[in-house]
Amino acid sequence: MLDDHSEPVRPIRALLRGLEALRALNGQDGMTVTEVAERARVPRTTAYRILETLCQGGFVIRDEMDDRYRPTLAVTNLAEGAQNEAWIREGAWPLIATLGKQILWPVGIWTLTGSDLTLRAATDRTSPLALNRLTSGAHADLFESGAGQVVQAFETSQKRNLLEEIGLHRHGQTSLKGQLETIRTRGFAFDAKPVGGEINIAVPVLRPSAGEGPEVLAAVTVRFIRSALSDDRAIGELLPKLQHLAADIRQAYLEFAPPAAQGPRSSAGGRSPEYV
C-alpha cells in the first residue's frame, strides 16, 4: 500500500500564489493587477490570471468603476465557517433553548453562507407550536426571507452594496434599498406573507466591533401563526424577547468566539443542550 507521507510532497505553487493574492486583497479596499503582482511577487500576467481565476470561483470581483479587484463574501465565509459552530453551540444555543421553552414558538439562528442563509440551530424539535419543523442546515433566500433582509440591512455599507448587487442580478429588485432602509429604521424584519403558514420576525445579532460600523454575526428569528397570534400582538410580545436574545448572544460571542477574534475565552463550562 502506498504511503502518502513516504516522500515530500511538491507544493502546488499556483495555489500558494492564489492564497497570497487573497491575503493581499483581504487587507485592502481593492487592488489593481499591478499592486497584486507586486505584493505577491509574481509577473503582472500571472497576477491577472490568478485574479480572473478567483473571479470565476466567486472569491473575487472586479469593480468596473475603478478596475480594482475586491474579495467577496465567500472569502469571509471560509474564515468564519469553523468559528460559527463553537460560539453558536456553546454561547448562543443555551440562550435560544431557554427562550424557546418560555414562549413555545420556534426560535432559530441563521448565518450567512455565500449568498444564502443557513439555519445553525433551532428549537423546532421541542416546540409544540411549530407547523414546519426545520432542522440545522436548512436554507433561506437572502432576499426574500425576513432573516436575509435583516442581515443585509445591518451589514457594513461595503458588504451591503455587494449583496444588493447580487439581489439586483438574481431578482431584479429595484426597491431593495428602500426595504433595507425601513428595516434599519425599525430594527427588525417582519414577513407579512406567510411561508408554510408561519410568519417570521427577525432581529440582527451585531458583532462587537470597534470598526466603522455594525457587522452582522447572525439573525435570530421567531415564527408564529396568525390564527393564534395577531401581527400586533406578536410584535408587542415576541419582538422585545427576540431583541433581548440578540443582545445576550452578542455578549456570549465575546466569551465563546475564538481568542484571536474576541480575546480570552471564558472558562464557563457545562454541557449545552442538544441543538437541532
Kindly report the average pLDDT of the chain as a whole number: 79
Q: What's the rounded Cα separation, in Å, for the pair 51 and 22?
A: 9
C-alpha cell at 216: 452582522
Q: What's the rounded Cα separation, in Å, for the pair 240 and 235?
A: 8
Check pLDDT > 60 for residue 260.
no
C-alpha cell at 68: 480594482
Look at residue 204 and give its three-state secondary structure.
strand
Which of 87-101, 111-125, 210-224 tops mean pLDDT? 87-101
- In Å, what is the CA distance from 108 to each residue of 34, 86, 180, 203? 45, 16, 21, 11
CATH of 13-71, one of 1.10.10.10, 1.20.1440.230, 1.10.260.40, 1.10.287.70: 1.10.10.10
- Do 204 and 160 meet the contact criterion of CB atoms below 8 Å apart? no
Query: Buried b vs exposed e over 177-203: b needs ≥16 C-beta within 10 Å?
Result: bebbeebbeeebbbbeeeeeebbbbbb
Look at residue 140 and give its three-state secondary structure.
strand
Q: What dihedral angle (degrees, nearest 10) is formed by the CA atoms of 80, 122, 241, 217?
A: 10
First CA to last CA distance, the chain: 41
User: Is residue 20 very low, low, confident or very high in pLDDT (cuts 50, 70, 90)?
Assistant: confident
What pLDDT does residue 265 have?
A: 36
- Do 171 and 207 meet the contact criterion of CB atoms below 8 Å apart? no
**Minimum mean pLDDT among 5-9, 56-60, 152-156, 239-243: which range?**
5-9
Check pLDDT > 60 for residue 203.
yes
| pLDDT tens-digit map of 79-97 | 555 455 678 888 999 999 9
| pLDDT tens-digit map of 30-55 | 889 999 888 888 899 999 999 999 88
| pLDDT tens-digit map of 51-67 | 999 888 888 888 777 78
Look at residue 25 and give its three-state secondary structure.
helix
User: Is residue 275 very low, low, confident or very high in pLDDT (cuts 50, 70, 90)?
Assistant: very low
Superfamily of chain region 74-262: GAF domain (3.30.450.40)
Q: Domain locations in the chain? A: 13-71, 74-262
Check pLDDT > 50 for residue 264.
no
What pLDDT does residue 64 have?
A: 72
β-pairing verdict for 107-113 and 216-224? antiparallel
CB-facing half-sphere around the CA of 167: CA atoms within 13 A: 22
